[in-house]
Amino acid sequence: MSEISKAYEPQSVEDKWYDFWLKQGCFTADPKSAKPAYSIVIPPPNVTGMLHMGHVLNNTIQDILSRKARMDGKEVLWLPGTDHAGIATQVMVEKQLKKEEKKSRHDLGREEFLKRVWVWKEKHGDIIINQLKKLGCSCDWTRERFTMDPEYSRCVQKVFVELYKKGLIYRGKRMVNWCPVSQTALSDEEVEMKPQNGFMYHFKVQVADCSGAVSAPNSAVTDRRYNESDIKLTDTWLTIATTRPETIPGDTAVAVNPKDPRYAALVGKFIVRPLPAELPLAQKLIPIVGDEHVDFEFGTGVLKVTPAHDKADFDIGTRHKLPLIEVINADGTMNTLAGGPLAGLDRFKARKVAVEILTEQGVMIEAKPYENNVGFSQRADVPIEPRLSEQWFLKYPAVPESKACVADGRMKFHPDRWAKVYDHWLTNIQDWCISRQLWWGHRIPVWERTFDCFSIGSVYTSVSDLLSISAKTQEFIGKESSDVVVSIDGKQVTTDAKKLLDLGLELNKTDAEVREIKVQVCTINPKVISALELERWTQDSDVLDTWFSSWLWPFATMGWPENTETLKKFYPTTDLVTGPDIIFFWVARMIMAGYEFMGEAESALPKKFALPDAMPFQNVYFTGIIRDKQGRKMSKTLGNSPDPLVLIAQYGADALRFGTMRSAPLGQDVLFDEKDVELGRNFCNKLWNACRFRQMQGGEVQGEIERTLLTPDDKWILLKLDAAIREVTIALNEYKFSEATAALYKFFWSEYCDWYVEASKASLPRPPAEAAPGEAPIAAVALSPEVEARKANTIAVIDFVLSHTIRLFHPFVPFITEELWNGMGYATDMPDNQGGKTIMNAPWPLPFDEDFKGHYGLDDCYVEMTDTKYELVRNGRDLRRAGNIQAAKKVKYVFKPAQHLTPHDAEVIKLLLNAESLEVNDAYQPPKGTPVVASPLGELFLPLEGLIDVAAEKIRLTKEVEKIKSEIVKVEQKLANPNFTTKVPPAVLAEHEQRLVEWRTRLAHTQASLEALG
């Protein structure tokens, strides 16, 4: 800090120190260190992502925790990385491909397309990482991970094999949430319910009797064997309510509640389905079934059942063995089974057309505007389509352990109300659909081949034979059979099973129709894989949900499945900082994965990982969600999200960090306002200038404080510093970041700058004024030894306070504090690993112990005494108003002390009053009308010789008197109440009595001031 600019300029400071920290390896965690470990894994941002305010909030908190831990002497690992964001990344590259080459991914083919994704990743994947660096994040970049790194991929696939082997992963045909835009299945968590304004359509259908009909349960509707002649249309019509008339062609029944007196008798009869209109009557007939699911209060009490396109209807269909008719394609268009006019139309267009057809038929009764909740694909923002398809599912592992660790408080959530949400989700947990019909992601490590049932036992005799694996590989499999899991028609078999014949026949003898069996091999063993591929086995084409890789993040990033030094040192991690919006997506799943793969929870893995408690982190801090000033969520479409990098360029990273922290209370959403960042900048500037003031006093860092020379003001600020250290430390321990910043702000601005710095000027003789141009330089005035000593001691106090303050601030505003730490010379006295090189490992300030306080005479009475002095000053300044005197104008005060006043205190009061002089006069007789304030220290007069507006001042003081009187009445009433005086704790009683005395004193003082005005 050789050149001290008048205002802090972050641009010239931030990059310099970040480079320095990197070069010095300050962020690199050493697993061999003897220091206690502290670790955090970053919530990996999407590799396609750009830094937004949510990242700023989240990562600033992680950085504060990491930096604080380093100063606490911990060995810190903050492990960074990105995730591959399956859908988002694939869509982004597809868009680029379309734009630049007018091609789809199918034009390129899977392999070539994936090459393009990697090219994109190499080119743009580190954008967000570099942005995090701009923010000052002290991540160990040497350990940066990406969820598609080869080692990471192996972890994901290994985990898949393990879970497959345990029977927790299975493939099944289920109703899933289908996104017609991305054309993939989604998990339940990726579906967001949104209220939609639509219509509730009421239409009528005619009831038919069909006495001779056979409702063939398992046949497709087109195979129905009704005789047209057996069908008797009745006069009864039923009204059905639906929001989705386009699915009518997929209806295979109408359901009523069997207890509903209106309809119970109709169960067993049929209705004529109005769509597709062109079908012959016999094919339009669908049964009326009785099902308890139907709520007869709702709609008309008659429910159309579309088992292929609705989850609840699917269940009804299963109960009544209804056929399924799929009428909607994977892309959301209608297929030919939907009927001529609808076929080929988009589902929403088809809805309109269906309504038109029904209207033409004269069966449409009404369309009421209706708001209902529709599931939307979170990613593509279109309504999802429930769809029957074959997908991979996971039965969640280690659920009881995961529930217990949070419920019994071993893992703490901050704020803890999220524990309830977490528990509720785990209690109602459904199997996780983990397969995605995408190309970008971890391919499912399952190979499949279909065999003719009759060749089993004749051509193939054993499982390994079936796998057509050479003798050499067979041996390998024999050794590492845990690597290879084989299923035949979904049932796991052992690889060394010799009795394939029995196995195969047993599997198939129940159904003569089945002529083929499916054999699955789940493995990540490359030798086995190459053998399989040679034999035309095909790998499952699906990839895994991105969260199926990020749930392994806390240990897969640390070298698992090897038992690495890093894992030993840093797992389980200490804190996790994330948003509550991914509590199910990520947090809950990581906990389950931790128990499953790192702990004793029935893991098939080597016991080297069997940690007594394998939960992946001890504390989870849930941030709020950043909103704009109007409380709206920040979003790209609204354009209400400021670009953090623009803010950093404009105000500095420290300003952004401090401002964000100050306005982010624990667990509450944050309404972001650029004003907050401005506040941060102003704060940094204040810090800068306070240090600048110290620099202007000249001289080296003063390490030694001479206790005999301490003034009451010195003791006051040291005690305030002690309090600030306590407050900030406690706040950080409780994850109350806004409280910590508020405490720092108050201490530094309102106590140190506003009072101490000003008071200290009494001990710091002004440096000689600059000579005006053309004049001879003014010679420095020699100071007396006493004054020199006092000056040096004051500077020592300033250096002490600043060197502590800067450290307290470091986790919040790392750049400016590093600049000041070095620039002010506070680093020079310290050992290299204790702050000598960088403030990053300077020790975190500790509250003063009793010895320290005793040595320096830091008694709490100095706080009270000095507060009284400052209160007198505040009142004295207020006197200027009576004379309408400008703040800058120097005026003469007279002080009539009530007790001994040291010359130093008199000087301090004079300075703080910005007085031309302060005459201390025991015998002062003020002229009538002289404004005065009284305090326990004495009376302070501002002789104005008739300048004051007596009337206005009287009014003000009279109001003041009234206010004080009312306060006195309040306290008196309390004290007069025997209920109060007998029941209240003595301390509170004493406090009230004391307060009454104080108010009475104030009353006397104010009345004296009033009388003085005549």
Contact 244, 200 (CB under 8 A): no
Specify the residue, 284 or 692, whose C-beta has the smaller distance to RNA: 692
Q: Is the peptide bond before 831 cis (omega within 30 degrees of 0)?
A: no
Q: Which of residues 593-652 bind RNA (CB under 7 A)?
A: 629, 631, 633
Burial tier of 501 (Cβ tally within 10 Å: 0-12, 13-18, 19+) = middle
Q: Which of residues 20-59 bind RNA (CB under 7 A)?
A: none
* Region class of 497: left (phi > 0), else alpha (psi between -120 and 50), else beta: beta
Number of residues that bind RNA (CB under 7 A): 92
Distance CA 909, CA 901 (A): 10
- Angle, vertex CA 271, rays to CA 266 and CA 272, nearest 5: 165
Specify the residue, 652 or 835, whose C-beta has the smaller distance to RNA: 652
Burial tier of 255 (Cβ tally within 10 Å: 0-12, 13-18, 19+) = buried
Residue (of 335, 339, 337, 334) closest to 361 by Cα position = 339
* By CB under 7 A, residue 275 contacts RNA: no
Specify the residue, 282 or 671, whose C-beta has the smaller distance to RNA: 671
Sole binder of RNA in the list 224, 239, 998, 1000 (CB under 7 A): 998
Specify the residue, 92 or 334, whose C-beta has the smaller distance to RNA: 334
For the CB of residue 71, give the shortest distance to RNA in the complex, in Å: 24
Structure tokens at 615: 């939960």
Sole binder of RNA in the list 63, 94, 246, 739 (CB under 7 A): 739
Distances, alpha carbon 232 to alpha carbons 209, 214, 322, in Å:
5, 14, 22
> Applying CB under 7 A, which part among 109-117, 507-515, 605-613, 738-746 lies near RNA?
738-746
Specify the residue, 298 or 637, whose C-beta has the smaller distance to RNA: 298
Sole binder of RNA in the list 153, 182, 300, 550 (CB under 7 A): 300
Sole binder of RNA in the list 222, 538, 750, 902 (CB under 7 A): 750
Structure tokens at 754: 């506003």
Sole binder of RNA in the list 206, 980, 1003, 1013 (CB under 7 A): 980
Distance CA 805, CA 725 (A): 9
What is the b/e burial string over 469-481, where b = at least 16 CB atoms within 10 angstroms of the residue's CB?
Answer: beeebbebbeeeb
Give Cα 758 distance to the centre of its chain.
42
Distances, alpha carbon 172 to alpha carbons 331, 461, 492, 812, 853, in Å:
21, 28, 15, 51, 72
Distances, alpha carbon 619 to alpha carbons 367, 577, 579, in Å:
52, 8, 13
Sole binder of RNA in the list 20, 237, 745, 924 (CB under 7 A): 745
> Applying CB under 7 A, which part among 155-163, 527-535, 641-649, 751-759 lies near RNA?
751-759
Sole binder of RNA in the list 7, 861, 898, 997 (CB under 7 A): 7
Q: Which of residues 455-514 bind RNA (CB under 7 A)?
A: none
> Applying CB under 7 A, which part among 358-366, 737-745, 778-786, 918-926 lies near RNA?
737-745
For the CB of residue 305, give the shortest distance to RNA in the complex, in Å: 9
For the CB of residue 430, give the shortest distance to RNA in the complex, in Å: 8
- Angle, vertex CA 667, rays to CA 666 and CA 671, nearest 5: 90
* By CB under 7 A, residue 419 contacts RNA: no
Q: Which of residues 181-240 bind RNA (CB under 7 A)?
A: 188-189, 192-193
Specify the residue, 312 or 501, whose C-beta has the smaller distance to RNA: 312
For the CB of residue 876, give the shortest distance to RNA in the complex, in Å: 9
Sole binder of RNA in the list 161, 303, 399, 493 (CB under 7 A): 303
Distance CA 149, CA 611 (A): 26
For the CB of residue 306, give the shortest distance to RNA in the complex, in Å: 8
* Region class of 659: left (phi > 0), else alpha (psi between -120 and 50), else beta: alpha
The C-alpha R_g of the chain, in whole angstroms, comes to 39
Distances, alpha carbon 97 to alpha carbons 117, 122, 148, 1010, in Å:
10, 16, 21, 83
Distance CA 703, CA 691 (A): 16
For the CB of residue 310, give the shortest distance to RNA in the complex, in Å: 7
Specify the residue, 488 or 872, whose C-beta has the smaller distance to RNA: 872
Q: Which of residues 86-125 bind RNA (CB under 7 A)?
A: none
Give 977's DSSP letter. -
* Start-end of H helices in 812-855: 814-823, 850-855
For the CB of residue 806, give the shortest distance to RNA in the complex, in Å: 14
For the CB of residue 998, give the shortest distance to RNA in the complex, in Å: 7
Specify the residue, 298 or 899, whose C-beta has the smaller distance to RNA: 298
For the CB of residue 40, give the shortest distance to RNA in the complex, in Å: 24
Specify the residue, 353 or 744, whose C-beta has the smaller distance to RNA: 744
Give the sheet arrangement for strand 915-920, strand by strand. Answer: 915-920, 891-897, 938-941, 932-935
Sole binder of RNA in the list 97, 241, 288, 588 (CB under 7 A): 241
Residue whose pair of structure tokens reads 């800068």 in the numeric block: 688
Three-class SS state of 596:
helix
For the CB of residue 172, give the shortest distance to RNA in the complex, in Å: 18
* By CB under 7 A, residue 766 contacts RNA: yes
For the CB of residue 666, give the shortest distance to RNA in the complex, in Å: 7
Contact 121, 47 (CB under 8 A): yes
Residue (of 576, 553, 614, 574) closest to 72 by Cα position = 574
Q: Which of residues 881-910 bind RNA (CB under 7 A)?
A: 881, 886-888
Specify the residue, 64 or 294, whose C-beta has the smaller distance to RNA: 294
Q: Which of residues 828-867 bind RNA (CB under 7 A)?
A: none
For the CB of residue 67, give the shortest distance to RNA in the complex, in Å: 23
For the CB of residue 740, give the shortest distance to RNA in the complex, in Å: 11
* Start-end of H helices in 697-842: 712-733, 737-745, 758-760, 785-809, 814-823
Backbone φ, ψ for residue 315 (5° rounding): -65, -40
Specify the residue, 448 or 678, whose C-beta has the smaller distance to RNA: 678
* By CB under 7 A, residue 421 contacts RNA: yes
Sole binder of RNA in the list 417, 491, 498, 608 (CB under 7 A): 417
Specify the residue, 563 or 994, whose C-beta has the smaller distance to RNA: 994
Sole binder of RNA in the list 132, 148, 757, 1012 (CB under 7 A): 757
Q: Which of residues 792-831 bind RNA (CB under 7 A)?
A: none
* Start-end of H helices in 4-85: 11-23, 53-71
Give Cα 921 distance to the centre of its chain.
63
Structure tokens at 981: 């005086």
Residue (of 655, 684, 659) closest to 671 by Cα position = 659
Q: Which of residues 648-687 bind RNA (CB under 7 A)?
A: 663, 665, 667-671, 673, 675, 679, 681-682, 684-686
For the CB of residue 47, give the shortest distance to RNA in the complex, in Å: 25
Sole binder of RNA in the list 278, 754, 859, 949 (CB under 7 A): 754
For the CB of residue 468, give the shortest distance to RNA in the complex, in Å: 44
Other CB atoms within 10 A of residue 277 CB: 15
Beta bridge partners of 377: 191
Three-class SS state of 100:
helix
Specify the residue, 61 or 117, whose C-beta has the smaller distance to RNA: 61
> Applying CB under 7 A, which part among 388-396, 508-516, 587-595, 743-751 lies near RNA?
743-751
Backbone φ, ψ for residue 7 (5° rounding): -120, 150
* By CB under 7 A, residue 367 contacts RNA: no
Sole binder of RNA in the list 16, 106, 262, 420 (CB under 7 A): 420
Sole binder of RNA in the list 412, 449, 995, 1000 (CB under 7 A): 995
> Applying CB under 7 A, which part among 35-43, 552-560, 841-849, 988-996 lies near RNA?
988-996
Give the distance between the most distant pair of CA atoms in the chain: 127
